[in-house]
Structure 1
């Protein structure tokens, strides 16, 4: 039987959730700044580079604790991603709803 340290798995999930929130908050901020900038490409490239580097660093640190912790980190990050997409998506209008006639 595999012996898991559930405290570490929980910390990995918490770290993934925090990393996800920070990643997508940075994405929102970068997009907001890029939409207001005269030259948006440098803003977007800088934002993406910082977010990717931070996420890779966090993932590398978590991976040092083991595969189960890394899996919890990744699952929590994906869960935050689904939540961020659901919150960012505009509400569906009644005319866009599928009809049943």
Structure 2
């Protein structure tokens, strides 16, 4: 599958969240039709493992989206609590992209 090129100019949304006592900034860029095209995640504390994992996860999530993987497919593949809540910040962001209530 080939990578879908991102528009040169695209909207970008930014949301600040706290997940498991760590502050994160989520950024989402979209294709012209509204589909998510790229994501960015940064942790409030620079250099901590949570920041590294979140940034790398955002890169991988962006590549999945640009190669046509459905948000729901990604959502169901991520780690969840017994009640279905996301365990990590990537899951929190993906739930938000899927329009799941109670997320970012």
TM-score, normalization by structure 1: 0.31
Structure having the larger proportion of residues in helix = 1
Higher-Rg member (1/2): 1
Structure having the larger proportion of residues in strand = 2
